[in-house]
Amino acid sequence: MPIKKTNFAANFRNELSNSCINVKKHITTAVKVLIFLTIGVLLFWLAYRGQDFSRIMEAVGEARWLWVVLALLLSVAGHYSRALRWRLLLEPFGYRPRNLNLFCSVMVMYLSNMAIPRSGEVVRCGIVTKYENIPFARCLGTVVTERIADMIVLLILTVVILFTQGDVATGIMDSNPWIGEGLQKLGGYVPHLVIGGLMLCALAFFAVRMAIRRDIMGLGTKITTLLKNFKDGLLTILKLKKRWQFLFHSLFINFVYFYTIYLVFKAFAFSEELSLMVALTLFVFSTFGVVIPSPGGIGTWHFIVIEVLGIYGVRKDPDAGAYALVMHGIQDILFIIVGFASLMLMPVLNNNYQPYQPDENTENS
């Protein structure tokens, strides 16, 4: 009997401890979401301050929604293409993940980014690890490879736009002198940030090296496996057999992003005459609005879109404001609906699913 009481007490303490840990995690997540949501609301207010929101909503009501629906359908095709491109990076390891699981994880990624910026990449890797039994670090390495490919395409497009539409950047700076002042102040901190970053990297390197050497409680072995999987995922591009398909998807994804902008141009009388080059310019500049860590680009994306359209002759209030609201809003609605649906359906769709596991010895031979 005493033994049973002791076991009961130990189990109770473990359960209580686990419950407290889960509660702390949920509270931490909720606080993060609240902080970033507040930042997003503030940035959105800054982007639309001084504008007549009733006039903006009138302009939104005059939209031709058929063009918006076409843009949404094309956008879904782009997200599915991203899932297929990710599969190409996982195939060299012998994995055969379901396209549906990859697509759902991509949509949950966007949903997660709306709550906590930059969290989506980690979340989608966690989902694929859970349902496809692929090492998390290996997934993360392939995602970094994806992002490098996207950055290369964006860099090429940025160079093209700066040479052909360089006046747009000048116009934005002239209309908003505070941007130049802010960048000038930020420039003074760059050396300190660089030195601080290098010191942190050096500290992390020596800490990891020491952990690997001493292998306390098997931690070194775990870190070694983690780093190996991450490196394998990062370098998977070198083993890629379907490189032309990878290139096609990389170009198609970016084409979808800029062409949906063009399709929504057609939804409004004030923007229907704008050209493909304007859409490409807007895509490049607005992408940097998403790079800035705000929830889903809220506020920063709207601000850049409004400013760029203003330079091309579109009235900022209410027309450019209405365009930015619709273009960003339809994407948010898509991410919320499909993202939550993916979260709900994936456990059901994978109930009896057994992911294919490659022979690591065969793979490495």
The Cα 101–Cα 351 span in angstroms is 12
Q: What is the pLDDT of residues 208-233, one digit of tens each?
A: 777 667 666 666 666 777 777 777 77
Find out whether the peptide bond into 318 is cis, omega within 30 degrees of 0: yes
The Cα 127–Cα 83 span in angstroms is 13
The Cα 258–Cα 244 span in angstroms is 21
Residue 162 has pLDDT above 80, yes or no: yes
Please name which of 141, 78, 152, 145 lies closest in space to residue 110, comparing C-alpha atoms: 78
Residue 356 has pLDDT above 90, yes or no: no
The Cα 52–Cα 315 span in angstroms is 12
The Cα 89–Cα 146 span in angstroms is 8
Residue 30 has pLDDT above 90, yes or no: no
Q: What is the pLDDT of residues 107-135, one digit of tens each?
A: 999 999 888 888 889 999 999 999 999 99
pLDDT at residue 47 in the model: 75
Measured from the Cβ of residue 316, the count of other Cβ atoms closer than 10 Å reads 17
Q: Tell me the mean pLDDT in the region 274-282.
A: 93
Q: What is the pLDDT of residues 289-348, one digit of tens each?
A: 777 667 777 888 888 899 899 999 899 888 999 999 999 999 999 999 999 999 999 999
Mean pLDDT is lowest, of 70-74, 166-170, 291-295, for 291-295
The Cα 153–Cα 159 span in angstroms is 10
Q: Which helix (H) or strand (E) holds 259?
A: helix 243-265
pLDDT at residue 364 in the model: 47
The Cα 33–Cα 47 span in angstroms is 21
pLDDT at residue 1 in the model: 47
Task: Say which residue, 78 or 30, is predicted with more confidence.
Answer: 78
Q: Tell me the mean pLDDT in the region 168-181.
A: 71
Please name which of 32, 46, 190 lies closest in space to residue 113, comparing C-alpha atoms: 32
pLDDT at residue 106 in the model: 96
The top-scoring range by mean pLDDT among 45-49, 71-75, 118-122 is 71-75
The Cα 56–Cα 167 span in angstroms is 27
Residue given tokens 């109770």 in the structure block: 12
Mean pLDDT is lowest, of 44-53, 78-87, 240-249, for 44-53
The Cα 89–Cα 233 span in angstroms is 8
In degrees and rounded to multiples of 5, residue 71 shows phi and psi of -65, -40
Q: Which amino acid is at 248?
A: F
- Give residue 75's pLDDT band: very low, low, confident or very high (50, 70, 90): very high
The Cα 26–Cα 23 span in angstroms is 5
The top-scoring range by mean pLDDT among 25-34, 172-181, 290-299 is 290-299
Mean pLDDT is lowest, of 84-88, 99-103, 180-184, 358-362, for 358-362
12 Cβ partners below 8 Å, 6+ apart?
Answer: none
Distances from the Cα of 151 to the Cα of 100, 145, 147, 365, angstroms:
26, 10, 6, 32
Upper half-sphere CA count for residue 310 (Cβ side, 13 Å) = 18
Say if CB 106 and CB 82 are below 8 A apart.
yes
